[in-house]
Amino acid sequence: MKFTLPAAELFIPDGVSEEEALARTTHLAIAAHQDDLEIMAAAPILECFQQSHKWFTGVIVTDGRGSPRDGLYRDYSDEEMRLVRFKEQKKAAVVGEYSALILLDHPSKAIKDGAHPGPVDDLFEILRACRPQVVYTHNLADKHDTHVAVALRTIAAIRRMAENERPQRLYGCEVWRDLDWTVDDDKVAFDVSAHENLQAALLGVFDSQIAGGKRYDLASMGRRRANATYFASHGTDVTTGMTYALDLTPLILDLTLDPGDFIQQFIARFAADVRDRVGRLR
């Protein structure tokens, strides 16, 4: 594949050809930063793990140069940090048996600039090469600007595809702001009870973040357990891990839908749910 930046990389853990690795992809996740895939896309990674007919491919859009750092990594330059984060992400791809990993290497400022064509051009080419059944990205209510920008670029790239080429589903996943606040009918709940050891290993690979003072491994596994327990107030737990997403598929079916207006509908339903409950229980 020809990417817009020369430093972009395509990594294939099992060494098959580029064409085969991309063509066999059934589940594609597009994330902003190294380790976001393992936080937000545990469900498709687990679904595809050790399956000959399902394959997970991950895309990391940014370069990782702006990562916070402490401890062993305190004095690392931006370029040294980029190399560490690329190495860690490749380790995760091996552990999770990804079909392919694509590191696009764009700076965050380019992602957040809607007029910059590079990210959308790259994502469009990846989507056409993979033709995934399902795509996972960040949700539009995330509080991290780069995450929301990646979601918007993903939507734009899919909308550029011919109608018969587009994925069947698009999900917006939780990272920087969970989705527990959404009403239950709006939640897409994924059971991630299986392979807790694999989930922990995938999260634990990112030593530069963990040793640097951000325990994403503990926080992510704790969120999954909390989601499972607090999903229903009556009845015993039937899962031990759960992640949430929003169904963004309408945005790739109806190209007239505005993403900002679309996410406001979820917020409005949450506000109405709170108002109605308080009103009923006065």
User: What's the domain range around 198?
Assistant: 9-280
Whether 1 is in a domain gets the answer no
Instruction: Report percent pLDDT > 90 for the chain.
Output: 87
pTM for this prediction: 0.95
> Mean pLDDT throughout 80-107?
96
Whether 70 is in a domain gets the answer yes
Q: 36-73 burial, b if ≥16 CB within 10 A, otherwise e?
A: bbbbbbbbbbbbbbeeeebbbbbbbbbbbbebebeeeb
Whether 267 is in a domain gets the answer yes
**What is the pLDDT confidence band of residue 43, given thresholds at 50, 70 and 90?**
very high
Whether 4 is in a domain gets the answer no
Total number of domains constituting the chain: 1
Whether 49 is in a domain gets the answer yes
Whether 2 is in a domain gets the answer no
Q: pLDDT tens, 162-196?
A: 999 999 999 999 999 999 999 999 999 999 999 99
Supply the CATH number for residue 258's domain: 3.40.50.10320
- What angle, rounded to 10 degrees, do the helices at 145-160 and 259-280 form? 120
Whether 3 is in a domain gets the answer no
pLDDT for residue 233:
61
Q: pLDDT tens, 258-282?
A: 999 999 999 999 999 999 999 999 9
Whether 225 is in a domain gets the answer yes
